[in-house]
């Protein structure tokens, strides 16, 4: 995230984000890693980019295969074939974008330490901007 100073000059990235993708789709660790990478596309759709100082974290987990580690093993694990995983990638992108927009809309004006106030976004203006850019 960038911020303009009083002179209108852009100041470097000022934040980080943690995105957690949870699914009940039966995916193995390599597929979950690929799914987590798609969350960056949802973030980018909101206009954000990652900067040098940004500590962005993207995680994905599945609740499928709850008995994969049961003793004594070996155990059977189900998974989606790689050839059929693309719809899950698309869903991840869309859900990430939606979650970020929901967080922005849900944010209220806050006053923090030393009286620093951050205003909530005006919803009507946000809707206009999103509509303008096909979001």
User: Under DSSP, is residue 107 helix (H, G, I), strand (E, B) or coil?
Assistant: coil
Active-site position among 54, 62, 70, 90:
54
Residue 113 DSSP SS3: helix
- Known catalytic residue: 54? yes
Spatial neighbors of 26 by CB under 8 A, at least 6 apart, are 62, 64, 65, 77, 78, 79, 80
Q: Is 5 a catalytic residue?
A: no
The catalytic residue among 24, 50, 56, 62 is 56
Annotated catalytic residue within 5, 16, 24, 86: 16
Residue 90 a catalytic site member: no
The span from the CA of 103 to the CA of 94, in Å, is 14
Q: Measured between alpha carbons, how far is 116 from 128 in angstroms, rounded to an integer?
A: 27
Active site residues: 16, 54, 56
């Amino acid at each position: 995230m960038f911020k303009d100073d009083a002179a209108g000059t852009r100041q470097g990235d000022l934040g980080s984000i943690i995105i957690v993708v949870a699914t009940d789709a039966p995916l193995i660790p390599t597929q979950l890693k690929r799914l987590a990478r798609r969350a960056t596309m949802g973030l980018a759709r909101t206009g954000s980019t990652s900067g040098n100082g940004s500590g962005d974290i993207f995680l994905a987990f599945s609740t499928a295969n709850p008995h994969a580690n049961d003793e004594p093993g070996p155990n059977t694990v189900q998974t989606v074939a790689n050839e059929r995983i693309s719809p899950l990638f698309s869903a991840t992108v869309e859900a990430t974008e939606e979650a970020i927009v929901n967080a922005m809309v849900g944010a209220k004006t806050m006053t923090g330490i030393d009286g620093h106030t951050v205003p909530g976004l005006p919803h009507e203006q946000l809707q206009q901007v999103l509509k303008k850019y096909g979001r």
